[in-house]
Chain A
Amino acid sequence: MTPQPERCLTCGDAAVTARVVEVRDLEALVAVAGETESVALDLVPEARPGDLLLCHAGIALERVAEGTP
C-alpha cells in the first residue's frame, strides 16, 4: 500500500482508505489515489467490490462505514 508521500509509512495511522474493485479469494484489488493495488483480506474476508476498506502495510484492517461528518 503506497502511503501519502509526506506521511510515515511505518506509523499505523498512515493507513489509507481504498475502494474494492475486485475480490479473488483472500486478495482484493483496490483503487487508491488513481492506482490499483493488491491487499490481503485475511482480516476482512467479507469485503466485496464497492466496499471502502481501511488498508495498512498491504492488508485490509477494517471496512469503513460511509456517511457524512
Chain B
Amino acid sequence: MRYVDEYRDPDLARGLVAEIRSLVVPGETVRVMEVCGGHTHAIFRHGLEELLPPEVEFVHGPGCPVCVIPMGRVDDAIAIAETEGVTLATFGDMLRVPGGRGSLLEAQARGADVRMVYSPLDALELARREPERHVCFFAIGFETTAPATAVTLLRARDDAVPNFSVFCNHVLIEPPLRAILDTPGLRVDAFIGPGHVSSVIGSDAYGFIPEEYGRPVVVSAFEPVDLLQSVAMLLHQRAEGRCEVENQYTRVVRAEGNPRALAAIAQTMEPREDFEWRGLGVLPRSALRIRDELAGLDAETLFTLPGERIEDPKACRCGEVLTGQIKPWECGVFGTACTPERPLGTCMVSSEGACAAYFSYGRLRRPREEAPVGG
C-alpha cells in the first residue's frame, strides 16, 4: 500500500536492528515506554520485541483512552442511553467496556438505543435526521480525538441543533505521564512519544520529561521502520550523553502542533478540576469538560447522572500494568478470568490495551521472561 510499504521495508528494518545492536551496552537494560496503545499494537503485530537485543525492553504505557475510562463513567453513559427518547452514539470499542452495571452492549440488549458511529459528526448527522430523538455522543479520547468533538460542538452551536449533546470524557496526555514519572521506583529509562496526539499538541509539549525528569523522548510514527528508528534515536541520545525531545514523525508532527485544532479545543472545552483514571487514580486537571458557554450541548448539564465511583475488581492489576511495574502475564487473572471475550480489567478491553496485545500476539511466548532484569 502506498505510503505504508516504505515504512515496512525489510532491508531498512534490518539495517536499523543492526544499528540498535551496535548501540546497546551488553547486560545494560534500557527500558523504553511506548506511551501510546497504537505503538503497543504495532510492536506486537510486527514482532519487534523479538528482533531487538534483550537489552532493549519495551514497557507498555497508559495511552489507550478506552482502557483508562473509569467504570463509573460507563455507568453514567448507560444511564443516558436508558433515558426515554434518547439515543447514545459512541465509538465501537466503548460498547464492550464493562461498567458496574455491565456494558453498553448489554444495555442495548435490554432495549436502550445505543448506536456505533465512526465520528462525532456522524452523531450530529443522526440528530439532524431524527429530530424526534435526543442524540448524545459519548466522547472519549486523547488530544487526537478531542478536535473532532470540538468541531462537532461548534457546528451544533452554529446550526442551533436542538436535540444533540456530548458526554465529554476527553483526557489529556501530560498528567498521566507525570503520574508515571512520579511513581516511586520508576523502571522506565526513555519514552517513545505518541505520534498522532503530537500532531495536535506538538512535540514541544514533552519538554518537561527531559527537563524535569531527565528522560529522553522521541515522538514516533507507527510503522515498524518508524519504531525501530525511534529506538535507535533514543539509544544515540544515551550514547552521546544527550537527553532531549526529538521528532521521528516529521512527516506529520510539528514542534508547535496544529494551532487550529488547539484553538477549537480551547474554544469548546476546558480542563476539569480532576478526573479519575482506571489504574492511575484521580489526577488533577487531566481531562476536559465542555465550557459553560456551551452548557446546552453538555450532557452533564442536561442529564442527571449517577456519578458513582466504582472500584476496579480486586484481582485486576491493570494499574501496575499501566505504570509499567508488571507485564500483563504476571497478573493472576490474565488469560483465565480475564480475556478479550470477557474482559475483567480495562487493559484487556481494547485491542490496543497492553493485555489484549499480549493475549493476541504473545501470550504463549512470554518473550521477556528469560531476559536479564538487571541494568
Contacts and interface: CB of A to CB of B under 8 A. Distances in A.
Nearest to A33: B1
Interface in A1-36: 1-3, 6-15, 17, 33
B91 interface: yes
Contacts of A56: 144-145, 148, 196
Nearest to B223: A69
B119 A62 contact: no
Contact of A13 (B7, B196, B229, B251): B196
B252 A1 contact: no
Contact of B121 (A3, A7, A15, A40): A40
A58 interface: yes
A68 B229 CA distance: 13
Interface SS majority for chain A:
loop
Contacts of A59: 119, 121, 147-148, 151
Given A12-B197, A15-B144, A64 B264 contact: no
Contacts of B92: 9-10
Interface in B1-44: 1, 3, 6-7, 9, 12, 36-39, 41
Interface residues of B, number: 56
B264 A43 contact: yes
B351 A54 contact: no
B93 A8 contact: yes
A10 B251 contact: no
Contacts of A11: 36-38, 63-66, 93, 141, 144, 350, 352
B239 to A, nearest CB: 22
Nearest to A38: B121
A24 to B, nearest CB: 15
A43 B154 CA distance: 12
Helix, strand, loop or mixed for chain B's interface? helix
B321 interface: no
Interface string A40-53: 10111100000010
B38 A1 contact: no
Most buried by B among A13, A42, A61, A67: A13
Given A10-B65, A13-B63, A52 B141 contact: no
Contacts of B250: 65
Given A42-B151, A62-B258, A17 B93 contact: no
A67 to B, nearest CB: 6
B261 A69 contact: no
Contact of A61 (B140, B141, B258): B258
B221 to A, nearest CB: 9
Contacts of A13: 36-39, 63, 144, 194-197, 222, 352
B286 interface: no
Nearest to B140: A10
B50 to A, nearest CB: 19
A13 B199 CA distance: 10
Contacts of A69: 6-7, 9, 12, 225-226, 229
Given A7-B351, A11-B37, 5 more contacts: A8-B41, A12-B196, A57-B148, A58-B119, A69-B6
Interface of A: 1-3, 6-15, 17, 33, 40, 42-45, 52, 54, 56-59, 61-62, 64-69
25 contacts: A6-B351, A7-B351, A8-B66, A10-B350, A11-B63, A11-B65, A11-B350, A12-B142, A12-B145, A12-B194, A12-B197, A13-B39, A13-B197, A17-B3, A40-B121, A43-B151, A56-B144, A56-B145, A56-B196, A57-B91, A58-B118, A61-B261, A62-B253, A65-B252, A69-B225
